[in-house]
Chain A
Amino acid sequence: GAGVSQSPSNKVTEKGKDVELRCDPISGHTALYWYRQSLGQGLEFLIYFQGNSAPDKSGLPSDRFSAERTGGSVSTLTIQRTQQEDSAVYLCASSYLSGPECYEQYFGPGTRLTVT
């Protein structure tokens, strides 16, 4: 399909292990966003990319979290030394126009991360 795709859809990992979450945005979308959604909470902004650069990474909760985007397309969110509080649904979104606000964002189905 032509939508935003994320993989894996579900990930169960042991505390202390590293995980990589992948996002394939809609072709041609220059902006890409990562959010985290915990049960009973709204979407927590993590980071956004304009092309391959990340003008705003202030939402990353700790230095265990990092993200990169290559070729202005695929993005990977890496969580090192996972903790139980990292358990959540990680959502990726992309938009045609740049900037963190205002523009229609198309979301992927998310990756449900469970840290045991």
Chain B
Amino acid sequence: TQLLEQSPQFLSIQEGENLTVYCNSSSVFSSLQWYRQEPGEGPVLLVTVVTGGEVKKLKRLTFQFGDARKDSSLHITAAQPGDTGLYLCAGAWGRLSFGAGTTVTVRA
């Protein structure tokens, strides 16, 4: 049973479109991290959110932590082929627990 549920599981969009990936749980986390993983490589940390309601921006990526610290979203504006990858959320709850990930494909 996944502590963190990510949706959708797969997402394929055209270059220039926007997308949102969701990470939900019934548990409260002290912090939540988002990673991106490319084939044959390990995950790379994108951001850590700590405060309920917090919004962080990383260029075209916007991350939001829910007010109750149980959920988070990742929004990409004007997606580019370089954004293709597996996006993983991970919640800190005693130990870091990872969701199953969302596979994002951006077509040129």
Contacts and interface: CB of A to CB of B under 8 A. Distances in A.
Given A43-B98, A100-B95, 11 more contacts: A4-B42, A42-B101, A43-B88, A45-B98, A56-B95, A93-B42, A101-B96, A105-B45, A109-B40, A109-B41, A109-B42
Measured as residues with beta carbon below 8 angstroms from the partner, the interface class of chain B is 20 to 34
A101 B30 contact: yes
Interface in A14-50: 33, 35, 40-45, 48
Contacts of A85: none
A2 interface: no
A100 B97 CA distance: 10
Nearest to A48: B95
A28 B18 CA distance: 40
Contact-residue size bin, chain A (C-beta under 8 Å from the other chain):
20 to 34
Given A107-B42, A109-B41, A42 B100 contact: yes
Nearest to A112: B40
A102 B29 CA distance: 10
A42 B96 contact: no
